[in-house]
A and B are shown apart, each in its own frame.
Chain A
Amino acid sequence: MTNAIEIKNLNKNYKDFKLKDVSFKVPRGSIVGFIGENGAGKTTTIKAMLNLVRRDGGTIEMLGMDALKDEKKIKESLGVVMDGCNFHDNLKTGDISKMLASIYKNWNVQLFQNYLKKFNLPENKIIKEFSRGMKMKLQIAVALSHEPELLILDEATSGLDPIVREEILDVFMEFIQDEKHAILISSHITSDLDKIADYIVFIHQGEILLDEEKETLLSKMGVLKCGEEDFRRLEKNEYIRYRKNQFSFEVLVNDKVAIKKKYPETVVDGVTIEEMMLFYVRGEK
């Protein structure tokens, strides 16, 4: 099966920022977590995929089609959720359904109704009266109701309480039960990605630092905590980054099992995506 998304050497130049040779894939049947600091280039990359901004170089293929040539066709099968709610304040869910029925070929009114019911979204209130969580759930309901194959989510769960977030994650997991489907989720809430992501793509200052299976990342990487002496004994290729404080060195190692064997008296912990990010961005080489 073709990949759901395939980006090769994407370049985009702004005055103070560039996307440089960004390349990665989103295989069908998978959830890819797209992480990076604010301003690292996540949203720019997504906008380039969606033709919201022009690119200065590179190719983008979505669902096996060229992102420029077959844009309209791709977007029939694409569900996008961005941060915030982009519907006008005085619309109701019924209005939205009518609107989208004339935009999407496969708009499924019944499916939309089902999601509204599932998310407890009222039919008689205008969007202005929706809470933030409700607005987000509405966006997701909309994104799913035209039977897309690919979901692109840009900070779709930020600002939501853990309960709503879990509801939403469950919906995504349900979506991915179909092997043809795929999800690209860009998020700061890395704990969500710790759970459901299959791959992690880490972008930093416009370049891809890392593109790995999440499980491999989390099971192989570890954090070694030790004193300066022990740190100096490490070989360059045994660690990725380190940070130090008054009492110890914290070292991101790429094979925690090997390190534990080599230095059995030291403390070697597992790592979360968030910690890994902090090491890469704030640690030293």
Chain B
Amino acid sequence: MKGLILKDLINLKSTFKMLGLMITLFAVIYIPQGNGFIFGMIILMFAMMVVTTISYDDLAKWDAYALTMPVTRKEMVLSKYLMMALLNTLGAVLALIVGIVGNMIMRQSFSMEILVIIGVLYLVAFCYGSLIVPLIYQFGAEKARLMLILSALIPTGLILLLTQMQIPLPEAINPLIYLFLLLGFTVIMVSGSYLISLRIYSNKEF
């Protein structure tokens, strides 16, 4: 299974490069504005990359071939979810770095707000992935591309909402509870999604 993840990383090399450029560009534009939008953008872009890996696979008709090797269908699905986790984490770390660097450049003190925002976005990214992956397995990458664009509106909308909100949380309740609730929700989403994907993939004919 390591090999499967390795393959995805190699395939994403050019995507990473392009992304790096875009992020640098947007960072230069958005950091001076003090807008949290950049974090959302970074994390969203990384979150969508798991879809890219699946469409690369489809293009090469990789799955049918890989299944002639000692790779179980479970491993194929698991590798995609691990990939998703890896990419989301990379995105979050990158967003954090941009946040810290941005703070340094703007000579602002580091605020916890950034951590919370990124944390929330990180979990939202997992929720998004949990939705999209089973859809791709069921409907294929072509239709999924459409769904991708349409469904990207949801997390984008969410992210915009979050960053505009300034987080006026009720003082009485510990804001961490919200985070824990979201964490719990995400865990359920991801596990449910994994089980559904597994079921779909196990019945697929190539």
Contacts and interface: CB of A to CB of B under 8 A. Distances in A.
**Direct contact, A vs B (beta carbon within 8 Å):** yes
Nearest to B6: A99
A104 B56 CA distance: 22
A124 to B, nearest CB: 15
Nearest to A53: B205
Interface of chain A: mostly helix, strand, loop or mixed: loop
A47 B69 contact: no
B79 to A, nearest CB: 11
A90 B70 contact: no
Contacts of A98: 3, 6
B53 to A, nearest CB: 10
Contact of B64 (A85, A86, A100, A103): A86
A82 B64 contact: yes
Contacts of A76: 70
A88 B10 CA distance: 10
Given A52-B206, A80-B65, A104-B70, A87 B6 contact: no
Contact of A88 (B56, B67, B206): B56
A26 interface: no
Contacts of A54: 205
Most chain B CB within a 10 A radius of its CB, from A51, A52, A73, A98: A52
Interface in A174-222: none
B60 A86 contact: yes
Given A84-B61, A86-B64, A87-B60, A104 B7 contact: no
Contacts of A88: 7, 10-11, 56-57, 59-60, 62
A103 B68 contact: no
Interface in A150-186: 152
A84 B206 CA distance: 15
B166 interface: no
B7 A95 contact: yes
Contact of A99 (B3, B14, B61, B68): B3
A46 to B, nearest CB: 10
Contact of A91 (B7, B64, B65, B67): B7
Given A88-B56, A99-B3, A75 B10 contact: no
Nearest to A103: B3
Interface in A119-151: none
Contact of A53 (B1, B69, B72, B206): B206
A69 interface: no
B62 A100 contact: no
A152 B57 CA distance: 22
Contact of B62 (A47, A86, A102, A105): A86
A35 interface: no
Given A88-B60, A90-B14, A72 B65 contact: no
A56 B61 CA distance: 25
B167 to A, nearest CB: 42
Contacts of B60: 85-89
B3 A52 contact: no
Contacts of B205: 47, 52-54
B107 interface: no
A155 to B, nearest CB: 14
A102 B10 contact: no
B177 to A, nearest CB: 42
A52 B64 contact: yes
A75 B62 contact: no
A88 B61 CA distance: 9
Contacts of B206: 47, 52-53
Nearest to A49: B68
B68 A50 contact: yes
18 contacts: A51-B67, A52-B205, A53-B206, A73-B70, A75-B68, A78-B68, A80-B65, A85-B60, A86-B61, A86-B64, A88-B59, A95-B7, A98-B6, A99-B7, A100-B69, A102-B1, A102-B3, A103-B4
Interface of A: 47, 50-54, 71-73, 75-76, 78, 80, 82, 84-91, 95, 98-105, 152
